[in-house]
Amino acid sequence: MSKLPHVGTTIFTIMSKLANDVGAINLSQGFPNFPVDEKLVEILRQKSHENVHQYMPMSGFPELLTKIGSLIESSYNRTIEPDKELLITAGATQGIFTTILALVDQGDEVVILDPSYDCYEPAITLAGGKANRISLNKEFLPDWDLINATVNNNTRMLIINSPHNPSGRVWKMEDMEQLEKLMQKHPKLILLSDEVYEYITFEQKHISINSIASIRDRSIIISSFGKTFHITGWKMGYLVAPENVMIEIKKVHQFNVFSVNSVAQAVLSTYLDSVDVSTLGAFYQEKRDLFHKLMKPSRFKLLPCEGTYFQTVDYSDISDLGDVDFCKKLANDYGVAAIPISVFNASGKDQKIIRFCFAKDDETLIKATELLCKI
């Protein structure tokens, strides 16, 4: 008997395989295709010759924890105790999974805002909880009337994601004010804030839960070195949580992975001394703006993109096909792979919107958009 009877192969795997099979340009899966920072490679080369190949402490390399604490303070003006409120994880997904497993009990309800990252619900199911998935509004921003009507005194956890995958939208201050009111109304509610794209924002700047003093002591905040430094294959993330909550998370973490890749931790600890994360938004904004410029002659309607490295587009003027079939046709007939948005919705709601990843070198973006503009 399956514990996850409704879970099959993810759309990311399906579309990447299709792209490989038909030779399509892969703008589907969210990973960059350009080289990582040469400074990072050089530090990796140096550290590989040092004594950093055995287990790190369960919470993480103490030096790295301290530097993350400094990063959080400089980014969000929040002072934390790194040894008590930080945990290095094997990627953000492991951090999310471990948090849910530690904090969600049998029968607990967890509210998810769709479209949503596909790892949330399986973790809730395996923890014995119940995922209650409700929709964001048509602009992919919070529908506070619906959220307030759904969250009740028995709701254990609310999961939020900003900057948002797949839409690229970023929550505004008025959204954070509504969130504060919701948390005040439900004093037992725990917040899981997925902020893996926190440093990849453009005109609309990211507001982290780290900066909201009234609710951060009831919040778990998920971050990703993989996204921040475009090293997705390293599977390196971290989470911030109040000490009383972190104790419970660490109980699961020690039996889940115990400790995370020692070489990667040592490398990142040194790299943080020489990198400025505040420049990352400008780097990806150039990519977004180039993609926008190249797509201007196309028949696709580009939707707002305020963060992440994803661009959603409306193709309703091009085809009546559902988004899954349209993405397959796009790869097979036109040579570009994308991701359908309906798969991020529990209801399968199809708005004829698909997602492209623009974290690619300029040559790839030029080739892909030339094909897309011919449709």
Domains in the chain, start-ordered, CATH in brackets? Answer: 11-30+278-372 (3.90.1150.10), 38-271 (3.40.640.10)
CA distances in angstroms from 220 to 83, 89, 194, listed in the order given: 15, 13, 8
Residue 281's pLDDT is what? 94
Residue 5's pLDDT is what? 85
> d(Cα 327, Cα 103) in Å, to the nearest integer?
37
Residue 19's pLDDT is what? 87
Q: CB 74: neighbour CB atoms within 10 A?
A: 11
Residue 29's pLDDT is what? 84
Residue 13's pLDDT is what? 84
Nearest CA among 196, 269, 261 for reference residue 228: 196
CA angle 57, 97, 80 (to 5 degrees): 50
What pTM value is reported for the model?
0.96
Strand partners, 220: 192
Nearest CA among 222, 224, 231, 226 for reference residue 193: 222
> d(Cα 151, Cα 189) in Å, to the nearest integer?
9
Q: pLDDT tens, position by position, for the chain (375 residues)?
A: 888 888 877 888 888 898 889 999 999 988 899 999 999 999 999 999 999 999 999 999 999 999 999 999 999 999 999 999 999 999 999 999 999 999 999 999 999 999 999 999 999 999 999 999 999 999 999 999 999 999 999 999 999 999 999 999 999 999 999 999 999 999 999 999 999 999 999 999 999 999 999 999 999 999 999 999 999 999 999 999 999 999 999 999 999 999 999 999 999 999 999 999 999 999 999 999 999 999 999 999 999 999 999 999 999 999 999 999 999 999 999 999 999 999 999 999 999 999 999 999 999 999 999 999 999
Residue 10's pLDDT is what? 81
Alpha helices, H only, 213-347: 225-228, 243-256, 262-271, 280-295, 323-329
Residue 256's identity, in one-letter code, is: N
